Amino acid sequence: MNNILVPLGTSPDAHETLKYAIDFAADFGANVFIMDVYQVAIGAGSLGKVEEKVEATHRENIKALVAEMDTKSVDVKIASYNGDIIDGLKEITKELDINLIIIAPRSNDINEELYLGNTSGRIVKQTNIPTLVVPKGTGYLPIKSILVAFKSGILKRSKVLYPLISIMRKNKASVNLLLIKTPGYTEDDLKINTALLDVSKNLIISENPTTYHGVLEHFQAKNPDMLCVFRRKRGFFKKLWEKSTVLKSEFHATVPLLILSVKKD
């Protein structure tokens, strides 16, 4: 885990997410790239100068924010993009070889009923980069216990587990696997990838109406520092990802949520 990307919006709590990312990066010896997205129409003459001025203003504001923080010798750089945030994410993550995206749940949304706002929801839904969603007000502490919840143990690519394994090994964290059998499950769902089994020998099998109900049932007993789920077409967020926003009543996590993408499965 060498390069971490933090899409920095205009939320007044953006500094909290950035501070968490810097502290996280310091623990892992990683670099932090702050993603600054703005939208200015590109044209001839003065419009081109407007874009330059907007980018320069944004950069100065970000530099001032970083200057107020203890960066703990972490290399913090700014990656600017003019256009849509998802297009920017795809371009920047490929160019910079990003291993992890760290975001806040609600971004700029003020609706307290939302867990994932429109921007953060689109990032989770439309990118394949592992994403860590950090609740508001959460300070970084070494992760000592992780609950991995899933409704299918099938993984065609074991490398999707690399971020989880990296966190586990760095902090010598204990990992509990929670296989949740929901209505309509198949016998194939119960076949668990050997690489996933190697992460932990502690496997819990639970029957619940939804994966989220299973998490709620076992979350308090395990009291993890981090929750880990998989993003796939038929999986934990199948219904939630039909739209970009996610209500707290549908799902929310009170600890950092690591989302590993298996979209190509």
State residue 191's pLDDT score. 87
Give the range among 31-35, 57-61, 112-116, 135-139 with minimum mean pLDDT.
112-116
The pTM for the full model equals: 0.84
Give the range among 104-108, 127-131, 139-143, 187-191 with minimum mean pLDDT.
104-108
pLDDT-derived band of residue 100, with 50, 70 and 90 as boundaries? very high
Phi, psi of 245 (to 5 degrees): -90, 150
Query: Per-residue pLDDT tens for 213-244?
Result: 888 888 888 889 999 988 876 555 555 545 55
Tokens of 8: 């920095």
CA distance 20 to 255: 13
CA distance 265 to 260: 12
In SS3 terms, 172-191 reads as CCEEEEEEEECCCCCHHHHC
The pLDDT of 31-41, averaged and rounded, is 81
Contact 124, 203 (CB under 8 A): no
pLDDT-derived band of residue 15, with 50, 70 and 90 as boundaries? confident
The pLDDT of 52-68, averaged and rounded, is 82
Contact 206, 178 (CB under 8 A): yes
Query: Is the predicted pLDDT of residue 260 greater than 50, yes or no?
Result: yes
The pLDDT of 37-63, averaged and rounded, is 70
The pLDDT of 156-171, averaged and rounded, is 92
